[in-house]
Amino acid sequence: MKLITVTLNPAIDVTLMCDQIDFDKVGRVHTEIREAGGKGVNVSRVAKKFGADGYCFALMGRENTPEYLNLLNDTAGEFISAQIEGRIRENLTIRSDDKCVKLNRMGAVAGSADLYNLLESIKSVLLKGDLVAVSGSIPLGVNEDMLTDFCLKIKEAGGKVLLDTESIGIENIKKIKPFAIKPNLHEFAKLIGVAILSPLKISEEMLNLHNEGVENILLTLGERGMKALCSGEIFDVDGVKVDVKSNVCAGDSTLAGFCIGLIRGLDIADCVRLSCACGTATVMVEGSGVCDEASAMEIFEKISLKKG
């Protein structure tokens, strides 16, 4: 078993630190940080820290692919990009003291032919039982039905599909019947169409989805830990209090930890614990950094869980 990640809409994350943010006034940038971003790419970055075998696939606008690859600097393992016309989008974060403005720019436009080419590349390395994590948003030109069909074809080829995306709604999730989904509480509520979720309601809705064919659900709850449904059992995982430096990449690290546990042959409860440990360890890292194995395993030993 190996891990394959798919990022259909990567980004170059640009952080601008300036002296002020005020409308109609000139702000001066004193620090600029450019980083290679993308949810699936982040999953692969964590997996590489653990020495997990796998591939990282991304659909990328060819105009600034060289810059992206230079920024990524071989941190995501075996990286394979499918080139399309246009540019990789840039996500801008403008910070000044306690003010922050975030702007996500539009990127390259993709189409069904681009998805087909990417799918064929994935199938060339895919073996039955491999984990295929499809994460993040979709580019312009790709819609939910196209992404659903893409995931179904991965399943037909023998891959176990793990979803971490808001681009697929509840009906298509039931159609795909993914091996796993990884929403946070807000995303889960939006997915099932319920504004407020009690612990009992969460368990009920998890079981409903499991009965519809979703094998594993990893529901992240921030500092409160996570709730998971795996192998038909519900687990409540207590959060570990740590010094939080950044929430960026925490969810991606959570998904990566679960995959790493499966690849290492851990029992399902320890896969859940490692999932939570990786997410927790990543919030201790500045910016868009991800956890390393040592820090994650230190937290792993502190994590307790009980069956819900």
Structure tokens at 254: 């959570």
Q: What is the pLDDT of residues 74-110, one digit of tens each?
A: 889 899 989 999 999 998 888 887 777 888 888 899 9
User: Who's near 279: CB < 8 A, 6+ residues apart?
Assistant: 220, 226, 250, 251, 253, 254, 257
Between CA 67 and CA 36 the distance in angstroms is: 9
Q: Considering the entire predicted model, what is its pTM?
A: 0.91
Amino acid at site 125: V
Q: Is 177 left (phi over 0), alpha (psi -120 to 50) or beta?
A: left
Structure tokens at 138: 């979709």
CB 297 within 8 A of CB 258: no
Q: What is the pLDDT of residues 97-152, one digit of tens each?
A: 777 788 888 889 999 999 999 999 999 999 999 999 999 999 999 999 999 999 99
Q: What is the pLDDT of residues 35-81, one digit of tens each?
A: 898 999 999 999 999 998 799 999 999 999 999 999 999 889 899 98
CB 40 within 8 A of CB 154: no
Between CA 237 and CA 274 the distance in angstroms is: 11
Between CA 33 and CA 43 the distance in angstroms is: 21
Between CA 232 and CA 188 the distance in angstroms is: 18
CB 110 within 8 A of CB 8: yes
Q: What is the pLDDT of residues 171-189, one digit of tens each?
A: 999 999 999 999 999 999 9
- In the chain, the domains with their CATH numbers are 1-21+31-179 (3.40.1190.20), 181-308 (3.40.1190.20)
Between CA 164 and CA 187 the distance in angstroms is: 10
